[in-house]
Amino acid sequence: MDLSVSSSSLVPFSLSLHSNAPKLLRLSRTSTTFFRKPPSISRQNKLAIITAIQVSTQSENDDFVLEDVPHLTNFLPDLPSYPNPLNKRQAYSIVKKNFVSPEDVVAQNVVIQKESPRGVHFRRAGPREKVYFEPEKVRACIVTCGGLCPGINTVIREIVCGLNNMYGVQDILGIEGGYKGFYSKNTLMLTPKVVNDIHKRGGTFLRTSRGGHDTHKIVDNIQDRGINQVYIIGGDGTQRGASLIYEEMSMERSHSLIHLVLFYNHLFMKEVKKRGLKVAVAGIPKTIDNDIAVIDKSFGFDTAVEEAQRAINAAHVEVESVENGVGIVKLMGRYSGFIAMYATQASRDVDCCLIPESPFYLEGRGGLFEFIEQRLKENGHLVIVVAEGAGQEYVAAEGHASDKKDASGNKLLLDVGPWLSDKIKDHFTVFRKMAVNMKYIDPTYMIRAIPSNASDNIYCTLLAQGAVHGAMAGYTGFTIGPVNSKHAYIPIARVTERQKTVKLSDRMWARLLASTNQPDFVASEQES
């Protein structure tokens, strides 16, 4: 590909500086060098070149991809910018490199082979030289949605303190009770003083809810209240909602919808224009299940794994002290068994870990019953950790099936814990004539209702500050999160397109199998 185009020939593209978002920029290895090198070309033209390359080379075998996030100037090209007030902050004045370069990107794959493509990259998070908001004109709001998770209060606190202390923003509203809170008249005024101590408490200071997302009503409300920065803390469902809010705010041509309207039996085509508002929408991913794609790990996860140790330890102490003790600890994890897997690995007292991703079976050769009997013979006791989403098909098959959903549309799970305890008890007493001492512990809500630990607190601070920097810099429709330990701005749609699950072919699951020595139910089933 020839990249020796003169910068002047690219001027017509310069208006599309931030256009076509979320955009996919594909650059070949030569173009990457070009991307970094010529200092004589202005930033605007450099980005114009990138846009030009995007237009001309998407179908080629390119190897550098920037999955960029939208910017307010995509649909408001004349938006003025201002020098970042952090320049004047004492704390930042001693930082060697105050601002993140617009060319800094974070690689999604850090382990690559010499000849392999460079792959997908995201924009690095952090403060930018120019901001698109004057602090005294910012009216921000924060909302928390979905289930609880340790650290939500720390994120709220650090958004408020970050906006206030770093940028001098004074007008920050707390929307209470999740998305529904947008329809209510009342909001909370959030100041550093109001949120000073909240990180020491579990839960969410702003309260939360499931269901009730109405994009139009929410955006109407944001518009009516004169809010221009929206910080949305929540899981995959919340981020989907955030994406719809962003789309309604923006005015991308690709987002204009043609609606078919049936009116007195005539079909009309109606183009629905989006609003083109100067409102930055920032998502902060929250989930105890750690099932959000792209990011390394969600906040509060480490705290939850640590808290799960207490339950596992209790189960172990109990079963160790009795004859034929069988401990079962049920942990959260709807579709992803990360908490169960990490809690098992951390504990070393767990004999078997059951997760939704790895089907298991009870009877026959290589089954769970055989394994339990063997461990009882060897050690006199055992501990099983079961993720709530595991074995759902078995519980359902026994006539407990239900299609019930929560208010957000998430399938309500059947309770695998008591089902598994009963099955084990029945099998050993009735069929094996062997009394087992069953100790069943369900700490599911306990592990997510606690305050975050020290490392999660730091993580929450980085997320909150990164979100504030991104919104102040005019980015919108993004989710912030660590990618290979570097915080990045990720297009919201990218984190909601699929749920992250435990990959059975990854080394982490193999490590677990190697440490518990539990049956690999798949292999055993095939052998028998």
Ligand X SMILES: O=P(O)(O)OC[C@H]1O[C@](O)(COP(=O)(O)O)[C@@H](O)[C@@H]1O
Please say which residue, 73 or 208, places its beta carbon nearer to ligand ADP. Answer: 208
Please indicate if the annotation marks 144 as binding a ligand. Answer: no
Cα within 13 Å of Cα(423), Cβ side: 18
CB neighbour burial string for 35-69, b if at least 16 within 10 angstroms, e if fewer: beeeeebeeebbbbbbbbbbeebeeeebbbbbbbb
CB 490, CB 24: distance < 8 Å: no
Please indicate if the annotation marks 424 as binding a ligand. Answer: no
Please say which residue, 289 or 302, places its beta carbon nearer to ligand X. Answer: 289
Residue of minimal Cβ distance to ligand X: 147
Please say which residue, 174 or 333, places its beta carbon nearer to ligand X. Answer: 333
Q: Exposed, middle or buried, 485 (CB in 10 Å: 0-12/13-18/19+)?
A: exposed
Q: How far is the CB of 237 from ligand X (least distance, A)?
A: 6
Binds 288, which of Mg ion, ligand X, ligand ADP, none (CB < 5 to 8 A, cut-off by type)? ligand X
391 forms part of the interface with ligand X (CB under 6 A) = no
Q: How far is the CB of 240 from ligand X (least distance, A)?
A: 11
Residue type, 22: P
Angstrom distance (rounded) from CA 235 to CA 479: 11
Binds 448, which of Mg ion, ligand X, ligand ADP, none (CB < 5 to 8 A, cut-off by type)? ligand X
Angstrom distance (rounded) from CA 486 to CA 483: 5
Q: How far is the CB of 148 from Mg ion (least distance, A)?
A: 12
Which token pair is 211? 């269901």
With CB under 5 A as the contact rule, the residue among 235, 285, 389, 519 that binds Mg ion is 235
With CB under 6 A as the contact rule, the residue among 66, 206, 219, 288 that binds ligand X is 288
Phi and psi dihedrals of 393, rounded to 5? -65, -35
Largest CA distance in the chain: 87
Angstrom distance (rounded) from CA 329 to CA 340: 9
Please indicate if the annotation marks 334 as binding a ligand. Answer: yes
235 forms part of the interface with ligand X (CB under 6 A) = yes
Angstrom distance (rounded) from CA 452 to CA 467: 19
Helix orientation angle between 236-249 and 215-225, rounded to the nearest 10 degrees: 60
Q: How far is the CB of 214 from ligand X (least distance, A)?
A: 19
Give Cβ neighbours of residue 415 (< 8 Å, ≥ 6 apart).
388, 395
Q: Site mask, ligand X, residues 134-163, x = CB under 6 A?
A: ------------xx----------------
241 forms part of the interface with ligand ADP (CB under 6 A) = yes
79 forms part of the interface with ligand ADP (CB under 6 A) = no
Phi and psi dihedrals of 134, rounded to 5? -90, 125
Which token pair is 235? 């899981």
Angstrom distance (rounded) from CA 355 to CA 336: 7
287 forms part of the interface with ligand X (CB under 6 A) = yes
Given the rule CB under 5 A, which of 21-29, 165-173, 177-185, 229-237 is the region that contacts Mg ion? Answer: 229-237
Please say which residue, 281 or 436, places its beta carbon nearer to ligand ADP. Answer: 281
Binds 367, which of Mg ion, ligand ADP, ligand X, none (CB < 5 to 8 A, cut-off by type)? none
Please indicate if the annotation marks 511 as binding a ligand. Answer: no
CB 366, CB 528: distance < 8 Å: yes
Nearest Cα residue to 145 out of 176, 191, 170, 120: 176
237 forms part of the interface with ligand ADP (CB under 6 A) = yes
Residues belonging to the active site: 289
Using CB under 6 A as the criterion, which residues of the chain lie in contact with ligand X when the complex forms?
A: 146-147, 235, 237, 287-289, 332-334, 388, 406, 448
Binding site for ligand ADP (CB under 6 A): 145-147, 178-179, 209-213, 234-238, 240-241, 244, 287, 408, 410
Q: Binding-site residues, please?
A: 147, 210-211, 235-238, 287-289, 332-334, 388, 445-448
